[in-house]
C-alpha cells in the first residue's frame, strides 16, 4: 500500500503542510495498516454477499420467468398441442379448461371444435360406410343386371333369328298355299269341265239307249214281217200244190220267198240278240255314266270346297306372314332396345364402380380421424364431458359451432345415385 504521507511527483501540496500533517497521517497510517486486513476481509465478504444476492436474484428471476412462462405459455403450448393433435385427425384427446382467461377461452373453443368435428366425422364416417355398402350393392346389382341383360340380349338375338327363319318358312308356306290355291282352282275348272263332259256322255248314252230300243222295236217288226211272210209262203206253197202244173212256178216263187223269210227271221233273231246285248250294255254303261256323273259332281263339289279352304288357307297364311313379320320387327326392336339397355347397364356398372372407389377413398380419408371410445356425437355433451362441468364464458357462447346437421341417410344417397344414373342415361342418349 502506498503511504499517504509521501508526496507524489508533481503534487501542489506544500512540504510544510505535509510536515505539519505528518503526525496525524501517521496515526491514520497506523489505523489503516491495522484495518487493512479487516477491510480486505470485509471486501471479500461484500463480494461474496453481492454474488450471493446476484445468484439469489437470478434464481428468483429464473423461477419467476419459469412460473410466468408456465402460467402464460403453458396453456398456449397445450392449446397448440391440442390443435396439432386435432389437425392430425386425433379427436380422442381430453381437453380440460383450468381458467377463464383468454387462453382458457381459446381452449374452450378448441373443445367445442373437437366436439363438433367428432360429431361431424362420426356422421361422415357412418354415411360413408352406408354409401360404400350401398355402392357395393349397386355395383353387384348392376353386375347381375348386366349379366341378365346380356343373356336376355343373346336370347332375343336367337329369337330374332328364329323369327326370321319362321317368317321365311311362313312366307314359303303362304307362297305354296297360293300356288296350291291356283292349282285347286285349275283342278276345279277341269273338274267342272269333266263334269260337263260326263253329263254330255250321259246324255249321249241315253240317246244311244233310246236308239237301241227303237232298233229293237224295228227288229221286232221285221221279225213279225218275216214270220208273216213265211206263213204267206207256206200258204202260197199249199195253193201251188193244189194248182198242180199251173202253180209250179208260183210254188218256186213261194219257196224262194219262204227261204228269204226264214233267212230274214234268222237274221232278225241274230240282230235282236245283238241289239238286246247292246241295249243291256248301253243300259249298264248308262248306269255307270250316271254313277260317274254323280261322282264327278261330288268331285267338283269337293274340289270347290278344297278351293275355298285353300283360299282361306292362303289368306290366313298371308295374314300369318304379315303377323310374323310384325313380330320379327318387334323382336328386332326389342333386341336393339335390350342392347341399348345393356350398354346403359355397363355404363351404370362403371359409374357404380367409380362411386364405390370414391366411397372407399372417402372411408379411408375419414378413417384418418380417431374418435373417442364413447362415440359421443353430440358436440355439447362432448364438450361438457371434456370440461368436467365447466361453464364457458358468455362472450364465446355466440361463437361456438352449432350442432352439425345430420348427414344424408342411405336412402337419400340412393336417391342421389338414381338421379346421377338418370343424368348419365340422358347424357348418353
Within 10 A of 121 (CB to CB), how many other CB atoms are there? 21
pLDDT of residue 1: 44
CA distance 80 to 99: 16
Rounded to 5 degrees, φ, ψ at 226 are -65, -40
CA distance 351 to 343: 12
Q: What is the pLDDT along the chain (429 residues), one digit of tens a residue?
A: 444 445 555 556 677 776 777 777 777 777 777 777 777 787 788 888 888 888 888 888 888 888 777 777 777 777 788 788 777 777 777 777 777 777 778 888 888 888 888 888 888 878 878 877 887 888 788 778 878 888 887 887 888 788 788 878 877 887 887 787 788 778 778 777 877 877 787 788 778 778 777 887 887 888 788 788 878 777 877 777 777 777 767 777 777 777 877 787 788 788 878 877 877 777 787 788 778 778 877 887 887 888 788 778 878 878 887 887 888 788 888 888 888 887 887 888 788 888 878 878 877 877 777 776 544 444 344 334 434 433 333 333 333 333 434 433 334 344 444 544 455 455 555
Contacts of 351 (CB under 8 A, 6+ apart): 420, 421, 424
Rounded to two decimals, the pTM is 0.41
Q: At what angle do helices 102-243 and 379-387 cross, to 10 degrees?
A: 150
Per CATH, the number for 102-428 is: 1.10.287.950
CA distance 328 to 338: 15
Q: Residues 106, 114: contact at Cβ < 8 Å?
A: no
DSSP string, 51-109: HHHHHHHHHHHHHHHHHHHHHHHHHHHHHHHHHHHHHTTB----------SHHHHHHHH
pLDDT of residue 279: 75
Contacts of 298 (CB under 8 A, 6+ apart): none
pLDDT of residue 390: 39
Element (H, E) at 106: helix 102-243
CA distance 108 to 399: 11
Q: Residues 296, 191: contact at Cβ < 8 Å?
A: yes
CA distance 248 to 230: 18
For 384, half-sphere exposure in the C-beta direction (CA atoms, 13 angstrom radius) is: 7
Residue 346 C-alpha cell reads as 355397363
Closest CA to 150 of 348, 347, 342, 352: 342
Within 10 A of 343 (CB to CB), how many other CB atoms are there? 14
Rounded to 5 degrees, φ, ψ at 370 are -110, 120
Q: Residues 371, 91: contact at Cβ < 8 Å?
A: yes
Q: Residues 123, 404: contact at Cβ < 8 Å?
A: yes
pLDDT of residue 387: 42
Q: Residues 155, 419: contact at Cβ < 8 Å?
A: no
Terminal Cα distance for the chain, rounded? 116
C-alpha distance from residue 135 to each of 123, 357, 417 (Å): 18, 9, 9
Amino acid at each position: 500500500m502506498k503511504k499517504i504521507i509521501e508526496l507524489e511527483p508533481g503534487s501542489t501540496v506544500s512540504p510544510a503542510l505535509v510536515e505539519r500533517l505528518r503526525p496525524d497521517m501517521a496515526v491514520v497510517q497506523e489505523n489503516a495498516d491495522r484495518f487493512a486486513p479487516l477491510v480486505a476481509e470485509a471486501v471479500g465478504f461484500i463480494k461474496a454477499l453481492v454474488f450471493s444476492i446476484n445468484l439469489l436474484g437470478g434464481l428468483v428471476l429464473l423461477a419467476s420467468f419459469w412460473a410466468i412462462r408456465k402460467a402464460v405459455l403453458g396453456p398456449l403450448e397445450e392449446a397448440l398441442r391440442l390443435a396439432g393433435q386435432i389437425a392430425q385427425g386425433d379427436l380422442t384427446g381430453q381437453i380440460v379448461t383450468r381458467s377463464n382467461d383468454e387462453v382458457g377461452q381459446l381452449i374452450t373453443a378448441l373443445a367445442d371444435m373437437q366436439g363438433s368435428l367428432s360429431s361431424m366425422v362420426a356422421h361422415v364416417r357412418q354415411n360413408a360406410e352406408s354409401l360404400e355398402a350401398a355402392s357395393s350393392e349397386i355395383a353387384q346389382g348392376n353386375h347381375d343386371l348386366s349379366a341378365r341383360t346380356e343373356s336376355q340380349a343373346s336370347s332375343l338375338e336367337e329369337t330374332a333369328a328364329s323369327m326370321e327363319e319362321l317368317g321365311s318358312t311362313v312366307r314359303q308356306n303362304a307362297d305354296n298355299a297360293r300356288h296350291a290355291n291356283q292349282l285347286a282352282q285349275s283342278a276345279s275348272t277341269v273338274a267342272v269341265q269333266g263334269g260337263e263332259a260326263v253329263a254330255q256322255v250321259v246324255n249321249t248314252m241315253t240317246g244311244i239307249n233310246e236308239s237301241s230300243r227303237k232298233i229293237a222295236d224295228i227288229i221286232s217288226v221285221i221279225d213279225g214281217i218275216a214270220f208273216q211272210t213265211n206263213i204267206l209262203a207256206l200258204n202260197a206253197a199249199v195253193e201251188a200244190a193244189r194248182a198242180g202244173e199251173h202253180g209250179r212256178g208260183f210254188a218256186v216263187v213261194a219257196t224262194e220267198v219262204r227261204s228269204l223269210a226264214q233267212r230274214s227271221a234268222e237274221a232278225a233273231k241274230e240282230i235282236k240278240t245283238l241289239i238286246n246285248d247292246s241295249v243291256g250294255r248301253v243300259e249298264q254303261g248308262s248306269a255307270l255314266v250316271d254313277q260317274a256323273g254323280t261322282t264327278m259332281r261330288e268331285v267338283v263339289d269337293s274340289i270347290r270346297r278344297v278351293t275355298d279352304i285353300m283360299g282361306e288357307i292362303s289368306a290366313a297364311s298371308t295374314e300369318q306372314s304379315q303377323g310374323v313379320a310384325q313380330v320379327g320387327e318387334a323382336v328386332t326392336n326389342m333386341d336393339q332396345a335390350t342392347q341399348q339397355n345393356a350398354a346403359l347397364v355397363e355404363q351404370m356398372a362403371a359409374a357404380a364402380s367409380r362411386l364405390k372407389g370414391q366411397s372407399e377413398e372417402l372411408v379411408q380419408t375419414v378413417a384418418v380421424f380417431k374418435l373417442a371410445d364413447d362415440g359421443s356425437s353430440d358436440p355439447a355433451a362432448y364438450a361438457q364431458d371434456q370440461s368436467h362441468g365447466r361453464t364457458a364464458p358468455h362472450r364465446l357462447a355466440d361463437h361456438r359451432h352449432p350442432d352439425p346437421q345430420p348427414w344424408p341417410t342411405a336412402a337419400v344417397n340412393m336417391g342421389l345415385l338414381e338421379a346421377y344414373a338418370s343424368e348419365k342415361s340422358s347424357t348418353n342418349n
